[in-house]
Amino acid sequence: MALRQADCNRAAAFLVPLLLLAGGAAKPVAALAAPGPVVLDFSAAGQGPFDPDFFHKSAHVRFLDGSFVGYVQGDQALIGPVAWRVRPLRAGIVRVKLAPAIQGTARYTLAAWSAGGKPLASMDMDVTQDTGNPATGPFGYVTLLLDVPEPAASYTLTSTFLGSSFPHVHTIDFGVAEIGLPGH
């Protein structure tokens, strides 16, 4: 059922005065919507040296660690470790999509920090992607989720090498394809 312009005009003429009489103010729908999460996709930065201010203008994020975007498991990703600062400070769920660049097992630690450097929240996840290890998981990107209970000023993502079935591997680099931050 299609609405004609005349029907829309009559509905608006009725609803706006009704809202004003009820004590409400006529506001644009966009002003009523809660701000959504901010998604930083590193494929937007392109492969090569990474400008730490690449997302500053659009998302108010400045990177402190992470200086190169390369390909990891088929996707453009910021090579870790990674650290970033946000303004304004934010609380809520932080989501990081990462993948190991070499086969083995590593522990990934995502942490949130206050403006004064106090730890607010952290989580660890062990990831095994190793054809020589019977406990291997599926290859590809994994997602870390961190619930930050109070506004955080900065975040860090690090890894600790736990082992590899390949004797020449003593460290596991990783790439971050995407970071999701709570809205402003």
The answer to whether 2 and 145 are in contact (CB under 8 A) is: no
pTM above 0.85, yes or no: no
Residue 12 lies in a domain: no
Residue 18 lies in a domain: no
Radius of gyration of the chain (CA): 22
Gap between the Cα atoms of 40 and 58, Å rounded: 10
Q: How many domains does the chain have?
A: 1
Ramachandran angles phi, psi of 130, nearest 5°:
-155, 110
Q: Hey, what are 175's tokens?
A: 């790439």
Kindly report, residue by residue over 57-109, the tens digit of the pLDDT: 999 999 999 999 999 999 999 999 999 999 988 899 999 999 999 999 999 99
Residue span of the structural domain in which 49 resides: 34-181
Q: What is the dihedral of CA 41, 42, 45, 46, to 10 degrees?
A: -120
Distances (CA, A) of 112 to 21, 45, 104, 149, 154: 46, 24, 26, 10, 6
**CATH number for the domain harbouring residue 56:** 2.60.120
